[in-house]
Amino acid sequence: MKTFKDLEFNTHPSAPYLDEQAKMEFDNGFGISVVNGQGAYCSEGTYEVGVLFEGALTYDTHITNDVIGHLSPKEITEIMKDIQELTS
């Protein structure tokens, strides 16, 4: 099971609006996008998460119908576990 520690952050293409982003795809076709920076719903030490399906943001899961902001690494790991258990 992948966790926050497995994410690799890179400079976001829209820096400095967003600072960093990590994306990860899972075997079930779903994935996660994790961002931080002044343009994200987060504060220092927290992150914004979006659920992906086939590489694009999706709002059609029981996890969320939007992005989720102000998350700690521990909370992101929990969301990652939920995403990895989704079926398409």
* Residue 2, domain member (yes or no): no
Print pLDDT tens along the chain (88 aa).
Answer: 999 999 999 998 887 878 999 999 999 999 999 999 988 999 989 999 999 999 999 999 999 999 999 999 999 999 999 999 999 7
* Residue 4, domain member (yes or no): no
Domain that holds residue 52: 9-80
* Residue 42, domain member (yes or no): yes
* Residue 23, domain member (yes or no): yes
User: Longest C-alpha distance within the chain, in Å?
Assistant: 35
Domain total for the chain? Answer: 1
* Residue 22, domain member (yes or no): yes
* Residue 88, domain member (yes or no): no
pTM metric for this prediction: 0.93
Reading the block at residue 49, the tokens are: 């998460």
* Residue 87, domain member (yes or no): no
* Residue 86, domain member (yes or no): no
